[in-house]
Amino acid sequence: MKTNLRKYRFENGELSQQQLADMIGVSRQTIVSIEKNDYSPSVKLALILAKKFNITVEQLFELEEGDIDETR
Amino acid sequence: MKRDKIFYGACILSALGILAAVLGSEISFIFFVTAYLLRPVVMEFGLRVKFVDERERTIHAKSGDVAFVVLIVAMIGFCMLEIAHGRRPEILYELIAIGLAARALTGLVMNGEYKKAGVMIISTVGFFLGLFIIMEGGLSLVSLFGAAVAFVIFGVSQLAKKFPRTVASLIAFIVAVTILKLGLYNFKQVQSALWLFVITPMTISSACLFLGSSKNADDVSPKTAYYVFGALSVCALFIFTMLMVFGSREEQHPTTFKELNPGVATEIQGYHVQGTVNYFENGKLSSCILAREDTVLGQPLPAGTQLNFLIDGRLDIVCLPSDTYIQSYLCKGEGPGTWHTVFYPNGQLKLMWSAKDQWIQGIPCREASFWTDAFGGGVGVHFYPNGKLMQCKLAQDFSLDGHFFKRGQHINFDENGQLVIVKK
């Protein structure tokens, strides 16, 4: 899964990871892990993040080739 | 580190722990553990979701899994060590079973298929109950009766598929009667194992069957389930507290210890002892270590032997400092708290652990070791009060009275030294 979180963070006033984390009530490490693709957020957190940037979840996260095969 | 209310709550608990430690109270340990477990408990019970970072929650769940496996493996290791030292680690067995059962029960209940969970819990209780009864009692009439009861429980689980509400009511009734009639009347009448492995899971199964018996079983709200199992947990906590307060009072005898001057032998209650001496509340010796060779129950025992007494003053267990010949047999000894040597009140050996493969009353008995004891049953050598061999594990293939025994098998005799064939 590809994440565009870093891109949208910078496009929205160059928010720091800590600032974003505080805004949505998670730890900075969670933001770091999502950006590094080490952690897949829950649907709820994905929706909260998308709402924060006024975009859709699909714009924030994209499936990559092979992602669908992995779930089979 | 997240500085929220849970963080500050844990800080207060830790501070109380430090205060208790400074005051010399062992309750400090409870404060520290509570502080450490505060966040995972709050997380798992969903009390304040807003304080929980979801990634942190995933990490807690995974680390909890690892910790669970480590604990179980460590306890199995400790069990084997205890067995190797001649003790039956009943508490450790129970702890392992509690851990595994709690995980299995939680998994079944959290899955949300309550009826299926109820049926599975009852059938598992029936299966393991039957298995343990047969393992403990062999194929005797009493154990066969017990196994038949277990089989009935298993049968009830199959009935629960068709009549969940009836079976749930029946189980709830039986459990309530058992607790009121046996438990509350006298906790000691009900073994802790029965509480843990029959009454508790059966109660949970009853709750599951009730929850799963409605037509809209899939729509049981998590809140309802929380209330039901929360109420059960509170009841269980109350019962176990009562059990701990009232159940074991007569069995446990608290002891106090006294450090003697190092290197100086002191005569206490007729024994020349050194090191640490333990006393019962009635002033009688609980345990001590001999400072020099002494004769106990007519048996000379070397310096360094640990003597353990019963509360009435009778000798209970002896731990030899090293391998020692007692009544012409080489008994294993590795110091205090290790291999137990036990005597009858008449001074005859009751139980010893052989320090080598040796012939005892014409029987090749096997050396006691960690491995020989941990695998294939106990390796202790048992005697009758008249000194005749009762049981040992064979050190080699052996034939007696037309019967062939393989190495590692147990051989049994009656008080007259006649071979007893134990049918399996």
- Which of the four pLDDT bands, split at 50, 70 and 90, describes residue B301? very high
Q: What is the CATH number of the domain that holds A40?
A: 1.10.260.40
Tell me the pLDDT tens digit for each residue of A36-60.
888 889 898 999 999 999 999 999 9
Q: A33 at the B interface (CB within 8 A)?
A: yes
At residue A7, the pLDDT reads: 93
3-state secondary structure of A41: coil
- Which of the four pLDDT bands, split at 50, 70 and 90, describes residue B375? very low
Q: A43 at the B interface (CB within 8 A)?
A: no
CB contacts of B50 in chain A (<8 Å) are 25
At residue B181, the pLDDT reads: 64
Average pLDDT, chain B: 81
Give the predicted TM-score (pTM) of the model: 0.54
The yes-or-no verdict on residue B388 having pLDDT over 90 is yes
Tell me the pLDDT tens digit for each residue of B160-186.
988 988 999 999 888 887 777 665 545
Residue A58 within a domain: no
Query: What's the whole-number mean pLDDT along residues B117-143?
Result: 81
- Which of the four pLDDT bands, split at 50, 70 and 90, describes residue B370? low
Average pLDDT, chain A: 88
Residue A13 within a domain: yes
Burial of B196 (0-12, 13-18, 19+ CB in 10 A): middle
Which site among A30, A32, A38, A48 would you substitute to test the B interface, given the most B Cβ atoms closer than 10 Å to its Cβ?
A30
Tell which wins on pLDDT, B120 or B282: B120
Burial of B353 (0-12, 13-18, 19+ CB in 10 A): buried
- Which of the four pLDDT bands, split at 50, 70 and 90, describes residue B189? very low
| Cβ within 8 Å, pair A27-B2 | yes
At residue B75, the pLDDT reads: 93
**What are the respective helix, strand and coil percentages of chain B, to the nearest 5?**
50, 20, 30
CA distance A48 to A55: 10
CB contacts of A26 in chain B (<8 Å) are 53-55
Q: What is the helix (H) or strand (E) element at residue B295, kind and residue range? A: strand B294-296
Q: B223 at the A interface (CB within 8 A)?
A: no
CB contacts of B58 in chain A (<8 Å) are 39
Number of domains, chain A? 1
The yes-or-no verdict on residue B282 having pLDDT over 60 is yes
Residue A62 within a domain: no
| Positive or negative torsion for Cα B57, B60, B62, B65 | negative
At residue A19, the pLDDT reads: 92
Q: A42 at the B interface (CB within 8 A)?
A: yes
For residue A25, the enclosing domain spans: 2-53
Tell me the pLDDT tens digit for each residue of B11-59.
999 999 899 888 888 788 888 989 888 877 777 666 655 556 778 778 8
At residue B374, the pLDDT reads: 45
- Pair B273, B261: CB distance under 8 Å: no
The yes-or-no verdict on residue B371 having pLDDT over 60 is no
Query: What's the whole-number mean pLDDT along residues B294-314?
Result: 87
Residues near B201 by beta carbon (within 8 Å), at least 6 away in sequence: B101, B105, B121, B124, B125
At residue B235, the pLDDT reads: 79
At residue A67, the pLDDT reads: 75
CB contacts of B54 in chain A (<8 Å) are 26, 30, 41-42, 44-45
ipTM: 0.72
Residue A71 within a domain: no
CA distance B137 to B386: 26
The yes-or-no verdict on residue B1 having pLDDT over 70 is no
